[in-house]
Chains A and B, each alone.
Chain A
Amino acid sequence: MRFAFYARYNTTMTADDIKRAYDEAARAVLLEHQEAVARILGEEQKKKEEADIAAVRARLIEHLP
């Protein structure tokens, strides 16, 4: 078997390496989650922001001399 007995005699992989790999993988998953949520919210949130900006601009124009 390809990996037979490798782990037991492998001295290059340490617990710290595993922890680092775990931290990186978890961070990547969380980032990917954030991006996915942003995509779901994206269109509507953008529309709302544009509507808010348009409303503020309209109010400003109303008050211009």
Chain B
Amino acid sequence: MSSIETAPRTSETHESEPTLDARLDALSVDAGRHDLAVVAEDLRAQRVIQETFPPEKRAAASMEVRKKSKETTDKLRKLRIAAALATTLIAMSPQETAAKEQEPVTAEMLAENPERLEELLEGVLISIQEEQAKTDQPELMPLQEEGNSVLRTLQDGKERGGKYTKVAGQVAETAFKVLVSAAGFGVGVTVYDGLKKVAETLRAKSA
């Protein structure tokens, strides 16, 4: 498996600075490549198992590889959600919007892509859980409750229709407020620090 290099994408609407949408799209494209790399590695490993392992050991080895592939896919999904969340929260900073002449992040813009909105909320909740696990921070509780509630509303809507239904204005507004609060609490920075820590920890482990 070769390491994955990602060429920076440019926005179609802004020549100098990609929009938030373009940045989040680029993260999804990268994530697709990463998932494919895991699938390719899994297929290669399964072939090696069939060709080299004694028959009595094949099933166990195959299962172990599948388990590891699933673990890696889950880790990569969390990383993508974290990156999308940090990118969105930093885009919500007034300085970023003013300095880069980007369009401000709005509830309507987030409502246009319910799947993305659901993942961002999921990211907020994961971050809060991780922070709470380290130290008890009661000030995060209302944000967690509101995030959970709006996430459930989004997911209920999806389950009833079998796919994502259009996000109602009020739901989008609440989700937007959750994200603004998360930005205010500095979740973007902690998520960014978390991303950096993953690379550092794994590098140290394999060195």
Contacts and interface: CB of A to CB of B under 8 A. Distances in A.
Do A and B interact with each other, yes or no? Answer: yes
Interface of B: 1, 3-4, 6, 8, 18, 23, 26-27, 30-31, 34, 37-38, 41-42, 45, 48-49, 51-54, 57, 61, 64-65, 68-69, 72, 75-76, 79-80, 82-83, 86-87, 89-96, 99, 137, 139-140, 183-190, 192, 195-196, 198-199, 202-203, 205-206
B89 A7 contact: yes
Given A18-B86, A19-B23, A34-B41, A9 B93 contact: yes
A4 B184 contact: yes
Contacts of B137: 1
Contacts, number: 165
Interface of A: 1-11, 13-15, 17-19, 21-37, 40-41, 44-45, 47-48
B1 A5 contact: no
Contacts of B65: 37, 40-41
B188 A30 contact: no
Given A3-B185, A31-B206, A21 B199 contact: yes
